[in-house]
């Protein structure tokens, strides 16, 4: 393992559900269903990894509202059902559930489910799973700056960082599935010195053995953080 290559915070842009469904001759909603099952597998793997403390998953962006109304409605129901079904998994695997993003636009029912899941899992210790929901990094940074200003603080890296949605550590490794090679407004502040990995695998086909191979490759990288 190279110096500084301890993986504590892993972030994943889960991309490719729609293309997977199209390739299978199925509706896009089927891709999202299978993608939710993959979340369980990857979360369980991370909860049992010796160093990973936080797993942040890009679940629904601020731009995703532009999708067809029926698909957005399905995604909201899928998230609600996922959280209810996964509660036993969270407790069994000792996973704490958190979110980043502006969930105020969600239905009262979904907001209640999110709040209850956070409350029930708040004392779990092995892993914190963070879902980025109605999340956009530019939006997060603007809201954080406004918090600093409202509190009459001086705007510095430290004060802005503390005001962000995510109080967690900077990200060590970010993975994006499906072959796309862009950040899509995801955790731009937290990704400043992250290692990036792009895989052609569509999210519903992404498995823990591939994640393990990517992590092994990450261990071989030299992270300089702006130094020599």
In 3D, which of 168, 160, 165, 178 has the Cα closest to residue 129?
Answer: 168
Provide the pLDDT for residue 62: 86
Report, as residue numbers or ranges, the catalytic residues. 15, 64
188: exposed, middle or buried (C-beta count within 10 Å: 0-12, 13-18, 19+)? middle
Rg (CA), the chain: 17
CATH topology of domain 9-136+171-219: Undecaprenyl pyrophosphate synthetase (3.40.1180)
In this structure, what are the phi and psi dihedrals at residue 108, rounded to the nearest 5 degrees? -60, -35
Provide the pLDDT for residue 24: 93
Distance CA 102, CA 186 (A): 14
Provide the pLDDT for residue 225: 62
Domain residue ranges in the chain? 9-136+171-219
Contact in structure between 226 and 193 (CB atoms under 8 Å): yes
Provide the pLDDT for residue 5: 82
In this structure, what are the phi and psi dihedrals at residue 9, rounded to the nearest 5 degrees? -125, 115
Across the chain, which has 228 residues, the per-10-residue mean pLDDT values are 78 95 93 94 97 95 89 93 94 97 93 97 97 94 95 94 81 97 94 95 97 96 68
Provide the pLDDT for residue 168: 62
Q: Report the Cα 225 to chain-centroid distance in Å.
A: 23
Instruction: Note the helical H segments in 48-168.
Output: 69-92, 108-121, 137-150, 157-163
pTM of the model as a whole: 0.92
Distance CA 19, CA 35 (A): 12
Provide the pLDDT for residue 165: 87
Half-sphere exposure of residue 205: CA atoms within 13 angstroms, side-chain side: 14
């Amino acid at each position: 393992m190279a110096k500084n290559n301890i993986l504590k915070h892993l972030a994943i842009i889960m991309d490719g559900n729609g293309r997977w469904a199209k390739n299978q001759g199925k509706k896009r909603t089927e891709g999202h269903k299978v993608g939710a099952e993959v979340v369980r597998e990857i979360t369980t793997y991370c909860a049992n990894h010796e160093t990973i403390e936080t797993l942040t998953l890009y679940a629904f962006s601020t731009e995703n509202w532009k999708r067809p109304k029926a698909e957005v409605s399905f995604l909201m129901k899928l998230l609600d059902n996922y959280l209810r079904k996964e509660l036993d998994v969270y407790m069994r695997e000792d996973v704490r559930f958190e979110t980043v993003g502006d969930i105020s636009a969600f239905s009262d029912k979904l907001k209640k489910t999110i709040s209850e899941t956070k409350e029930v899992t708040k004392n779990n210790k092995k892993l914190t799973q963070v879902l980025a929901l109605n999340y956009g990094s530019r939006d997060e940074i603007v809201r954080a700056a406004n918090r600093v200003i409202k509190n009459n603080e001086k705007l510095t890296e430290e004060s802005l960082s503390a005001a962000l949605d995510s109080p967690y550590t900077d990200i060590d490794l970010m993975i994006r599935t499906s072959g796309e090679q862009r950040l899509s407004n995801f955790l731009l502040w937290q990704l400043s010195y992250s290692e990036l990995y792009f895989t052609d695998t569509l999210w519903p086909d992404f498995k823990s053995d591939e994640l393990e191979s990517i992590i092994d490759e990450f261990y071989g990288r030299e992270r300089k953080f702006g130094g020599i």
